[in-house]
Amino acid sequence: MDFFNIQNFSLFFSYIRRRLYATFYSLGLLIVIFFFRKHAADNDRKMSSLQELVNNLSSSDVREQALFELSKRTELFDDLAILLWTTPTVMTALLQEIIAIYPDLSNEALTLAQSNKVCNVLALFQCVASHPATRMPFMSAQMPIYVYPLLNTRFKSKPFEYLRLASVGVIGGLVKVDDTEVISFLTSTEVMPMCLCTMEVGSELTKTVEFPDS
């Protein structure tokens, strides 16, 4: 009688253990699925927010705020460069901001607010220039040439210094990888004399950014 009781208890215990294992496994699976879906939903929301900011670049009314927000996220989203390049009218809007500042490059009236706005544009240019999927289209469209006038300034005030630094960042984005096509393009467009000009008039920070190994 005791033998059968022990055997029944053992079977019952095994049954309970199997049920517990199955329950915990199912619970664990549900938790994993929940967090996976939550993560996916969070990513969808972030991408939706990112796309909205990129779209806002096409509107002059909200462009400045969009520039500020996006310039802080250039290293957080791998696909930002692709969004910038493929969203209609966005690159044109960014170019307009750069070209609009050209008349103020010939005098020291350039304000810090103007400089900061264009620096945010240049941060997005750098993002596009450094991404493997957009680097060559960016270069083929001759986009870096629009940055050259910003490099070729000689005023030493902070607004001009920041512009030169941000412009060097765009060129640096292009040469992140050893690509003969990029080097050939930069050589043919004579960017080196402009970088040397930046060295002559820039602060120690500019010189360090341009020649980090010196």
- Domain of 186, CATH number, reads 1.25.10.10
**What's the confidence (pLDDT) of residue 156?**
86
The tokens describing 172, both together, are 């640096």
Domain limits at 131?
57-210
Burial of 57: CB neighbours in 10 Å, binned 0-12, 13-18, 19+:
buried
Write out pLDDT tens, residues 92-150: 999 999 999 999 998 888 999 999 999 999 999 999 999 999 999 999 999 999 999 99
Does residue 31 lie within any of the structural domains?
A: no
Does residue 44 lie within any of the structural domains?
A: no
Does residue 19 lie within any of the structural domains?
A: no
CA 5 to chain centre: 70
Spatial distance between the Cα atoms of 178 and 197, rounded to a whole number of angstroms: 24
Spatial distance between the Cα atoms of 9 and 140, rounded to a whole number of angstroms: 78
Does residue 32 lie within any of the structural domains?
A: no
Does residue 20 lie within any of the structural domains?
A: no
**What's the confidence (pLDDT) of residue 213?**
44
Amino acid occupying residue 158 = K
Count how many domains the chain has. 1
The answer to whether the beta carbons of residues 124 and 117 sit under 8 Å apart is no
Spatial distance between the Cα atoms of 163 and 147, rounded to a whole number of angstroms: 9
The answer to whether the beta carbons of residues 142 and 100 sit under 8 Å apart is no
Write out pLDDT tens, residues 147-193: 999 998 888 899 999 999 999 999 999 988 888 999 899 889 888 77
Enumerate the H helices of the chain as residue ranges: 2-56, 63-71, 80-86, 90-100, 112-130, 135-140, 148-151, 158-174, 180-188, 191-201, 204-210
pLDDT above 60 (res 14): yes
pLDDT above 80 (res 3): no
The tokens describing 181, both together, are 């096509």
The tokens describing 1, both together, are 């009688």
Does residue 51 lie within any of the structural domains?
A: no
Does residue 111 lie within any of the structural domains?
A: yes
Spatial distance between the Cα atoms of 91 and 96, rounded to a whole number of angstroms: 9
End-to-end CA distance of the chain: 90
Does residue 16 lie within any of the structural domains?
A: no
